[in-house]
Structure 1
Amino acid sequence: MNPIRLKICNIAAELLATNKAVNNMHARRTAAMQVYGESTPPWLLPTMDEIDRSLNGILDVIEDYPSEDSHSLRSMVIGLFNGIEGHHFRSTAHPERDVDYHLLQTFDLCIEERPYDTELAFAGLVHDLGFTITPKEPIAATIEFIAGNFSDRIYDLLCQLPAAHSVLNHSAGHRARNRFMAHSHHEDALFLAEADLTARQTGVPASTLEEALTILDDLF
């Protein structure tokens, strides 16, 4: 196997073994970004079977491999959070820098203002989790990797969040704004966008991931 392809394969397997990726595709994409960058040629990407074989080799020597179902929504969220640890926003619009810190701040704002709306709080907690997959479109990446595991309303809130930001910053055209305002969850999406913008503080206390997941336990 090509040395670069092998390195991507081994890193992907390590990400899966340490619960820092939610599935093979996520692991491969993250590993390729680390080793080669965004434009990794297809012939350098290991197959799913190659990653599985490498993973099996790692698991043979790991005694305490997590037994939690890797396909559960909770474990997917934990895996994605593990994957963004240490990753930073580069934009000056995010002075808080740490992606996970921003997400936990967003969760706190949602749950403080609407303590009984766990779906809204969950959307706030996960909206940028896809940052390590596609930094330019983290919301779309989040939806891609955990779609089908949450409610239609959470899906709609995440899908409408970019449009809500466009409405708030007045960059949406007349037709786009009308389409957004006609959506059944537009008020909640606007609230989420406002929380997203506010949750960019430095030095403020924030919940831990475990605390957030405990509050959202009913969703799992």
Structure 2
Amino acid sequence: MRVLIVEDELFLAEAIRDGLRLEAISADLAGDGDTALEQLALTAYDVVVLDRDIPGPDGDEIARHLSAHPESPRILMLTAADRLDDKASGFESGADDYLTKPFAMRELVLRLRALARRSPAAAPPVREFGGVRVDPFRREVYRGGRYVALTRKQFAVLEVLVAAEGGVISAEDLLERAWDENADPFTNAVRITISTLRKRLGEPGVIETVPGVGYRMTDPA
């Protein structure tokens, strides 16, 4: 899952981003409405965590902009305004969910995962390919009924590969979807993560390297 956090309080935004990364959720930051719209035009996000009171186009304007397009990401409005009227106007602007400050990080994560499952383009929450079963909600992986313990980054990479159902995913796409906007395009992080992931999944191998193109899942059966 990839999330855009639109929040002008930098300390809070960074705290949310770091908390989401601990849950294997990639997150980018935007401190104002104009920056948010620019990033939304360039990157496909699953959910936008949207503060209502931000510089430039405010949260309601951005929500209305997104809700006009059916393929836009889901919107979780995050704000200190907790009156029923405030929530109602937020939903009328196009928000899919509403969370008031202060909040528990665990609740935010649960709401984000629930919203991602409701995305129009989302596949079922539990994916399986080549005998590998990935449950994003519980962050669990099984191969042939055997539980496979993975790090957060290994899980994020495997989730992308399994979702492709045998399609080839380039290293650049993996960086974009399993890391975040600050990932170094020249890093060998993808190669190292793939190597350790193969060891964790065991034999026979289910992740194939397509020379000069990328990686894909295979079905040994």
Flag whether TM exceeds 0.5 (same fold): no
Q: When the two structures are superposed, what TM-score results if normalisation uses the length of structure 1?
A: 0.31
Work out which structure has the larger RCO, using CA pairs closer than 8 Å and 6 or more positions apart in sequence.
1
Structure with higher helix content: 1
Structure with higher strand content: 2
Q: When the two structures are superposed, what TM-score results if normalisation uses the length of structure 2?
A: 0.31
